[in-house]
Amino acid sequence: MPELLILRRGIEPYEQCFAAMRAFTDTRNSQTQDQLWLVEHPPVFTLGLGADPAHVINAHHIPVVQTDRGGEVTYHGPGQAIAYLLFDLRRDGRRLLPRDFVYRIEQAVIDTLATYNCAGERKAGAPGIYIADGDWRGAKVAALGLKIRANGCTYHGVSLNVAMDLQPFNWINPCGYAGLATIDLQTLGVRARLDEVQDQLARALEKNLKL
């Protein structure tokens, strides 16, 4: 049995997927295979546990959902590659620290961007990946938020903007930062189908998270 099961869930309402992640994690045990879910959501704003609802400036009738992940407010919508990581950080005796787990996820995004000749970078204290050079330097291209339970099991994950309507990002303070520029690969000149980027991201995550 492979270490990681990759599942394509297609277009799925956020709350339905959120409930499925929690249900999977509630029932898994030490032998349950880790899973990577690739999904695309209809428009939705999600709030992390520490999020200030005031960072949703004007939802414009887009649903706002409270979640149990870390982080602030973000937007999910069509044209975004989302990867949810249902992992057991203690499986088979491994002791993967949350900080290392986040670092590996971020590296997978950086590696994915590199395949499209885009340079990504981390920012201290601001999880996610940002454009490292050019006219869009400092713009956020990927957001990251996780739930890690006391038993070491994780869910939620990372979203990479591929070819989106970016306007809803202007209706929030992304990740709690007023005026933070948000970008997608299409605006950077990358012409790639969403499923191609999903596959590339999945391969990069599988590589970086292999222990």
Residues serving a catalytic function are 175
Q: Is 117 left (phi over 0), alpha (psi -120 to 50) or beta?
A: left
- Name the residue among 100, 54, 88, 97 with its Cα closest to residue 73: 54
Six-digit token string for 111 = 């590696």
Euclidean distance between CA atoms 206 and 210, whole angstroms: 6
Residue with tokens 């277009």: 11
Q: How many residues can be counted in the chain? A: 211
76/143 Cα distance (integer angstroms) = 10
Which DSSP helix (H) or strand (E) runs through 45?
A: strand 44-47
